[in-house]
Structure 1
């Protein structure tokens, strides 16, 4: 009978894109010990994404609203996990994120210094932002021995989300999708408008793509539905799917698209992990810090003197970093592939 592997609990992040990038850590842990069992503490909304990751053995949903402390929910979850894990890796740097592994009495608890987590973590690592210069590197480093992690020269596996062909067929029928080659558009970015390409540009690009024989699928959550309507209204072969699909559906619909035009957002990382070619548009953020984790991507970034500012809204009031990236530029990139 094979020896049981180490049991590792990962406290996952609270954003879609970060949760996708966390798969690079899960892949690293499984590559080093195929017998390891990985559980992930995560917001309930992220379960559909985690269930598409071959490396994740268990999802422990934390039913706490974003920004809510949720003491009773954390204590109840910790009690259910007690005695079941050998090690915990805490990806967020907040104090409350380290509570569940501590209350579950997991013997080894690793994470970065942050918010006075003394006692909650018993292996606190200093974050060298010059060496660990990307979010995904920081995640992977916490699964490695400290000496190896500090060098920063370790490989980063690329996330890969499993596709469900039966679900995709049902989605085609439910939403009346056609047989034209499909291009996805993701106009949202939860962080703020300084990361959002103008809707007028998305609309102009959608019109041009339909003329070139493509179908366009606009994707996002319920908050993005009005933006999707601006892009799709009155256009044949353009489908506003914002708020009409589940997160798992988005994985399948993106995997079915030839390319995706997207802001630097969570769905950008979903598209990359689904295997879709990504046309990634950057404004206030930097492609050096949160790039799509795929070789099949083209980055659109003007690197103006004021970029990257990492602000939610443009401090100068013009958002030229986005406005000056024309629809024609994106159309040429799409058609050249």
Structure 2
């Protein structure tokens, strides 16, 4: 990148990041805001985010303003004038730089309509988004992780990538509540995440229950906290039924800041390809993740896919929200709870178990555990 763009980037004052959803995607994009703030310390950095996820970034030290995208509200035609007004406000902000990390038709159109000096986005052709960009950043390789793609966006605008920041700073109020609910007292708290956005990304809740029963009978100093949204409550009840006295069901009972602080108090998360999985990875917590239709090299727990459990089947990964084989969801149903439990027990018995420091995220990517 040279000429006019290089001159422009040296004098950036106002920046807009477009990454409205989903939870895990927003968490994975946060290093972009952290590194932009370090390089452009005096700039205003705004973030366009879906309103239901806004609590995650409220009072964030590196973000100047949250621009709310009311996805459900604005789906009604009689609310479209509110969406138009929001775009007009973005234009009035006169951004120097817009980074589209969503790379879909909606976000790219918002980027273009906001009329910045420069639009930079991911070169993802799915919905034609790159047509609206001044600078298109290709995926580093076919299997490159999403975070590494986002970091290449920074490199394209000459922002140094150094892992010297705190990914998810502590939220004191939320942390105080979780400290009261989850006293340590020599207890190792294990987070269980049985839900996921796609139904076919969910390891059967009965498998999670079997894991809880197996681990609680093998180790006396563990307790389990079951996480998820209100729609995951039925899953939570199934998991807790395996060892009710050892489980605390928090499904539907945490705000986003409380979810983060809950995971901060846990020693490990066992779960599906989901937002909480990415939060745990960002906190440097060990993650044992069950993968079926998706590719952990692209969207797994960052820099620790060695504990991803995935079956070696011809259809894996299908990258589809719907299972189309005759033995539905065999990729997860056939993934043994005993293997997951053994992996977890071995991890907990490791005396060197500790959270990963942010600087360690720059290390070489590991590979998932493929189970024949």
TM-score, reference length from structure 2? 0.77
1:159–1:301 distance in 2 versus 1, CA, 3 Å: farther
Asked if 2 retains the 8 angstrom alpha-carbon contact of 1:39 and 1:58, the reply is yes
1:15–1:157 distance in 2 versus 1, CA, 3 Å: farther
1:184–1:103 distance in 2 versus 1, CA, 3 Å: same
1:13–1:303 distance in 2 versus 1, CA, 3 Å: farther
The aligned counterpart of 1:33 is: 40
Asked if 1 retains the 8 angstrom alpha-carbon contact of 2:12 and 2:96, the reply is no
Is 1:92 equivalent to 2:102 in the alignment?
A: yes
Is 1:83 equivalent to 2:93 in the alignment?
A: yes
Report SS of the residue matched to 1:8. strand
Is 1:274 equivalent to 2:276 in the alignment?
A: no
Is 1:232 equivalent to 2:237 in the alignment?
A: no
Asked if 2 retains the 8 angstrom alpha-carbon contact of 1:264 and 1:280, the reply is yes
Asked if 2 retains the 8 angstrom alpha-carbon contact of 1:17 and 1:265, the reply is yes
The aligned counterpart of 2:225 is: 217
The aligned counterpart of 1:19 is: 26
The aligned counterpart of 2:364 is: none
What CA distance in whole angstroms lies between the structure 2 residues aligned with 1:135 and 1:127? 11
The aligned counterpart of 1:262 is: 271
The aligned counterpart of 2:209 is: 203
Give ranges in structure 1 of 5+ residues lacking alignment: none
The aligned counterpart of 1:145 is: 156
Asked if 1 retains the 8 angstrom alpha-carbon contact of 2:272 and 2:289, the reply is yes
The alignment yields a C-alpha RMSD, in angstroms, of: 3.2
The aligned counterpart of 2:300 is: 291
Instruction: Tell me by how many angstroms 1:255 deviates.
Output: 0.5
The CA deviation string for residues 5-30 of structure 1, in whole angstroms up to 9 with x for no partner, is 53210111421111111113223323
1:258–1:126 distance in 2 versus 1, CA, 3 Å: closer
Asked if 2 retains the 8 angstrom alpha-carbon contact of 1:158 and 1:293, the reply is no
Report SS of the residue matched to 1:321. helix
The aligned counterpart of 2:53 is: 46
Give ranges in structure 2 of 5+ residues lacking alignment: 1-9, 348-372
As a proportion of its length, which structure holds more helix? 2
